[in-house]
Amino acid sequence: MLRPPFTEEQEMFRDAYRKFLEAELIPHRDEWWGTGVIPKEIFKKAGEQGFLAVWVDEIYGGLGLKDFRFEQIMIEEIARSQETGFMSPLHSRLIAPYIADFGSLEQKQRFLPGVVSGDILLMIAMSEPNAGSDLASMKTRALERGDHWLLNGSKTWISNGINGNLAIVAAKTDPQNQRAIGLFLVEEGMQGFSRGKPLKKMGLMSQDTVELFFSDVKVPKENVLGNPARGFHYMMKNLAEERLICACQCIAACQTAFDLTVEYVKQRKMFGGVLSDMQNTRFSMAGLRAKIDSAQCFVDRCVEVHNAGGLTSAKAAGAKLVCSELQAEVVDTCLQFFGGTGYMDEYPISRMYRDARVTRIYAGASEIMKELISREIFPRQR
């Protein structure tokens, strides 16, 4: 086996998480694909069993498990469960660190226990219809008004948008300085904060993605994360981890599609034999095996480097780029082996094909990943 071994504790954690998904998610997959949202109670159950934000310090109710491999295990098990709409890593490892890294002691005490228990579900609201890759052109604004900030604008494609009850919202804070962006903790129930209906998407059908609206929302000063002019810097700092999470998701999806396909081609009868007898099948699958193993090695190495505190933005971008592009190749090649069956909505490979399209777009498009990698290669051109 090429992968660095997980510890015994981590293997036990994997078993427990797999059982949780088998009991709480897998039986409901079809229903949630129809409703477009996973019930909030599932996050609460995950919290009760210690599966949310496991890295949070024990004083805030967490388990203090800082090793990224615990999150990697959960990401792999979610892919295996084929319920990829369960955006628990987004809540736990992508958004929650903003509060721990940049929040005040009072903010950590107020929010982190709820993040761990699942009483608080997080959203991150950066993107706007005209500001996705180009975040600096966002229009949402916050103006300082005595003891609060007045927030106006809107955000789109926000994940966990129906279930979420605490949003970290990025907004421009200084009309004289376009790069001054603040991060605001906007809570459910604040006057002027509203959300749209779940957006209809081509994949991730059970994941609640919505628009958020802010109309003269009075955000108290104690709900500003860190320095209100440094939000851009905070986002850039945490985006490397976001890309590593995405790379883990993509390579886990590759492995799941691969496993499903191996099982299918071994039993699909044709021309007096089975599909796996064909040289085309064997060679195609062999090629995918080699590519998945290579990409997995890269991801595992990035995880090790990240655990040691050294993962650069360019390397995380490289992992996301390679794994998301490979995911597209894997699901397409695999679906072909399923023939017409693979085109039917009820078959997992069909859903995996649709889910895969977004990973080359969100958490930064492939072209942005190339831009980040090229900056490391050609530093003086910037």
Instruction: Please identify which residue in 7, 133, 194, 294 interacts with ligand FAD, judged by CB under 6 A.
Output: 133
| Stretch of 37-45, 99-107, 126-134, 330-338 lying at the interface with ligand FAD (CB under 6 A) | 126-134
What is the number of residues in the chain? 382
In whole angstroms, give the CA distance from residue 204 to residue 153. Answer: 26
Question: CB 159 → ligand FAD: shortest distance, Å?
Answer: 4
Site string for ligand FAD, 186-225 (x = CB under 6 A): ---------------x--x----x----------------
Spatial neighbors of 372 by CB under 8 A, at least 6 apart, are: 313, 314, 317, 364
Please say whether the beta carbons of 326 and 334 come within 8 A: no
Cα 133–354–24 angle (5° rounding)? 105
The residue of the chain with the least Cβ separation from ligand FAD equals 132
Is 313 a binding residue for ligand FAD by CB under 6 A? The answer is: no
DSSP code per residue over 198-265: PPP-SS-TTS-EEEEEEEEEEEEGGGEES-TTBHHHHHHHHHHHHHHHHHHHHHHHHHHHHHHHHHHH
From residue 32, give the alpha-carbon distance in Å to each of 28, 57, 90, 333. Answer: 6, 33, 18, 27
Query: Is 127 a residue that touches ligand FAD (CB under 6 A)?
Result: yes
**Rounded distance between C-alpha atoms, residue 254 and residue 269, angstroms:** 24
Least spacing, CB of residue 201 vs ligand FAD, in Å:
6
Dihedral sign computed on CA atoms, order 231, 233, 237, 242? positive
Kindly state the tokens that stand for 333: 């090649």
Q: Is 126 in the site for ligand FAD (CB under 6 A)?
A: yes
Pairing of strands 273-274, 269-270: antiparallel
Should residue 367 be labelled a site residue for ligand FAD when binding is judged by CB under 6 A?
yes
Stretch that binds ligand FAD, among 131-139, 185-193, 242-250, 261-269 (CB under 6 A): 131-139
Catalytic (active-site) positions: 242
- CA 38 – CA 22 distance, rounded (Å): 15
CB of residue 220 vs ligand FAD: minimum separation in angstroms? 23
* Residue 328 binds ligand FAD (CB under 6 A): no
The H or E element spanning position 149 is: strand 148-159
Q: Which stretch binds ligand FAD (CB under 6 A): 182-190, 238-246, 268-276, 356-364?
A: 356-364
Supply the minimum distance, in Å, between the C-beta of residue 218 and ligand FAD: 22
Tell me which stretch binds ligand FAD (CB under 6 A): 75-83, 118-126, 311-319, 373-381.
Answer: 118-126
Q: Helix 279-307 crosses helix 313-343 at what angle (to 10 degrees)?
A: 150
- Name the minimum Å distance from CB 367 to ligand FAD: 4
Residue placing its CB nearer to ligand FAD in the complex, 67 or 371: 371
In this chain, which stretch among 255-263, 284-292, 302-310, 363-371 interacts with ligand FAD, using CB under 6 A? Answer: 363-371
Residue 335 C-beta: closest distance to ligand FAD, Å: 20
Q: How far apart are CA 271 and CA 250, in angstroms?
A: 34
Q: Which of 40, 108, 371, 375 binds ligand FAD (CB under 6 A)?
A: 371
Q: Which pair of tokens denotes residue 8?
A: 């015994």
CB closer to ligand FAD, 285 vs 363: 363
Site string for ligand FAD, 243-272 (x = CB under 6 A): ------------------------------
H-type helices in 90-146, by residue range? 96-102, 105-117
Q: Which two tokens stand for residue 250?
A: 């993509």
Strand-strand pairing, 166-172 and 122-125: parallel
Residue 94 interacts with ligand FAD (CB under 6 A): yes or no:
no
CB of 361 to ligand FAD, least distance (A): 5
Residues found near ligand FAD in the complex (CB under 6 A) = 124-127, 132-134, 157-159, 201, 204, 209, 358, 361-362, 364-365, 367-368, 371
